[in-house]
Amino acid sequence: MAEHYVPEDLPTHIQHFINGKFVDSVGGQTFDVLDPVTNKTYATAAAGQKEDINAAVAAAREAFVNGPWPKMKPRERARVLNKIADAVEAQEARLAEMETFDTGLPITQAKGQALRAAENFRFFADLIVAQFDDAMKVPGSQINYVNRKPIGVAGLITPWNTPFMLESWKLAPALATGNTVVLKPAEFTPLSASLWADIFSAAGVPAGVFNLVNGLGEEAGDALVKHPEVPLISFTGETTTGQTIFRNAAENLKGLSMELGGKSPCVVFADADIDAAIDSALFGVFSLNGERCTAGSRILVERPVYDEFLEKYAARAKNIVVGDPHDPKTQVGALVHPEHYKKVMSYVEIGKSEGRLIAGGGRPEGLEEGNYVSPTVFADVKPDARIFQEEIFGPVVAITPFDSDEEALELANGVKYGLAAYIWTQNLTRAHNFSQNVEAGMVWLNSHNVRDLRTPFGGVKSSGLGHEGGYRSIDFYTDQQAVHITLGSVHTPKFGAQAASEIDY
């Protein structure tokens, strides 16, 4: 194996960022941060506890109540957001190599994440300047208008699979709308999140508006969710964690936006462009190392083309380049952490008794260390199999045949998740009817996962609560206050008048 690439000037210790300053945990707690290619510790990070979250929330609350950020004109905030986008683009190469080193994502895929992060800030900068609200008039009687205003301190809890980009997806609308934030990044991947502090400060974000507390979900994340002065929680992550957050947010009736797990179907009908469907179905589950919430990890194929699909799909899967994440030829890198590697490999072993293994099934040859898993394909998987029902979040796919549209829909909807769906057919009527009946928050027809930032993003069933994206993000991060003004004389029943006859109902 070639010598593993290590970016220059890596920090050996990662701190919190609270009220404009880098700080360690009050109690001095730390945790180790691993490189997923060697599983060796390359840094320690401050491990946030309740007292650190309290300090971050106090700074964010002070900045919200007494600071300039919430009161700035939309154009002023937009200028700052565009400066942030400029800085992210200027650091694209550095961000990509740090993200690859921290997550194990292939470098070619990490580069795209930096540019998408910049676009998120530009998009919401444009949106808040163009934002307008409703006014309703009853001639001669009343006018009503909507006063939209920021809510307060937003708690943002982000995952480890594409951390920098997904942090931007929450930070941009939360800040654009005038809120202040406390970000709790995933403990597996704190490296790229540590760059936000300097980017924001240089762009002119006032102290206290952006705060970052590293730490474990059970400690820092739990304290953030339970804090009574954090009215909003936006969370992306695993479903059972989302359920815990839902319970813990109930006491203070917090606003919640949660994008959770997925076990999305990719449905291939016999009339589909099979080669295009195979391209998409391979990319959909093996890009980002299979560590993507919208992965089409259940492929349902109509019987007449089932054998052809299996043969072509398995041959391509075996040909996928697995290797060092920093090598531009690599298509699947190392999984993020040894704990997650063990989970994914346990599902590979389960799958060997639940389906017919036609590709992969273990560690690639020549990669004896690090969290590497060969792209793994199981065929003939029954719908009650664990590898069909449960989210694996790795380069593992289950393929199942079907004989009718009705059976395909039953299989597609036959799991607890409902995040995405991919449909491949040339039949226009079937395409629309199937798309509208599949239980998924997002559907791609004859397409891989490409997104327009104006569209709603979210899932149904166990895949999430609420939607973000475009104006849905603006709605989540603002209160919409209705203001009513009478234009004519006020006609009110005269309760308490001396004579009942004077009361005009």
Residue 69: which pLDDT band, with cuts at 50, 70 and 90? very high
Is 119 one of the catalytic residues? no
Element (H, E) at 234: strand 232-236
| Cα separation, 362 vs 372, whole angstroms | 9
The per-residue pLDDT of the chain, averaged, comes to 95
For the chain, list the domains and their CATH numbers: 13-260+463-483 (3.40.605.10), 265-445 (3.40.309.10)
* Closest to 179 (Cα-Cα) out of 76, 77, 49: 77
- Residue 180 has what pLDDT? 98
| Cα separation, 170 vs 179, whole angstroms | 11
- pLDDT greater than 60 at residue 2: no
Question: What would the pLDDT profile of 123-141 be if each residue is shown by its tens digit?
Answer: 999 999 999 889 999 998 9
State the number of CA atoms in the 13 A half-sphere of 291 facing the CB.
28
| Cα separation, 419 vs 334, whole angstroms | 25
Identify the three-state secondary structure at position 476.
Answer: helix
Residue 489: which pLDDT band, with cuts at 50, 70 and 90? confident
- Residue 4 has what pLDDT? 81
Question: What would the pLDDT profile of 276-314 be if each residue is shown by its tens digit?
Answer: 999 999 999 999 999 999 999 999 999 999 999 999 999
3-state helix, strand, coil in the chain (%, to 5): 40, 20, 40
Q: Which residues contact 415 (CB under 8 A, 6 or more apart)?
A: 263, 298, 388, 389
Q: How many residues does the chain have?
A: 505
- Residue 496 has what pLDDT? 84
Residue 112: which pLDDT band, with cuts at 50, 70 and 90? confident
- Residue 471 has what pLDDT? 93
- Residue 500 has what pLDDT? 58
- Residue 434 has what pLDDT? 98
Percent of the chain with pLDDT over 70: 98
DSSP string, 81-113: HHHHHHHHHHTHHHHHHHHHHHH---HHHHHHH
Residue 502: which pLDDT band, with cuts at 50, 70 and 90? low
Q: Which residues contact 219 (CB under 8 A, 6 or more apart)?
A: 47, 48, 49, 50
Residue for token digits 């010598």?
Answer: 3
Residue 383: which pLDDT band, with cuts at 50, 70 and 90? very high
| Cα separation, 261 vs 292, whole angstroms | 9
- pLDDT greater than 70 at residue 225: yes
Q: What is the mean pLDDT of residues 228-240?
A: 97
Q: What is the mean pLDDT of residues 402-427?
A: 98
Q: What is the mean pLDDT of residues 384-391?
A: 98
| Cα separation, 11 vs 17, whole angstroms | 15
- pLDDT greater than 80 at residue 505: no
Catalytically annotated residue among 99, 167, 187, 259: 259
- pLDDT greater than 60 at residue 1: no
- pLDDT greater than 90 at residue 499: no
At residue 390, φ and ψ (nearest 5 deg) are: -110, 145
Percent of the chain with pLDDT over 90: 91
- Residue 5 has what pLDDT? 86
Q: Which two tokens stand for residue 439?
A: 């239980």
At residue 412, φ and ψ (nearest 5 deg) are: -60, -40
Distances (CA, A) of 473 to 125, 173, 366, 468, 476: 13, 6, 46, 4, 5
Q: Which two tokens stand for residue 47?
A: 């491990």
| Cα separation, 332 vs 367, whole angstroms | 12
For residues 270 and 256, the answer to whether their CB atoms sit within 8 Å is no
Identity at 339, one-letter amino acid code: E
- pLDDT greater than 70 at residue 503: no
Q: What is the mean pLDDT of residues 451-460?
A: 93
Classify 250 in phi/psi space as left (phi over 0), alpha (psi -120 to 50) or beta. Answer: alpha
- Residue 497 has what pLDDT? 80
- Residue 114 has what pLDDT? 85
Identify the three-state secondary structure at position 21.
Answer: strand
| Cα separation, 310 vs 380, whole angstroms | 10
- pLDDT greater than 60 at residue 14: yes
For residues 235 and 229, the answer to whether their CB atoms sit within 8 Å is no
Residue 49: which pLDDT band, with cuts at 50, 70 and 90? very high
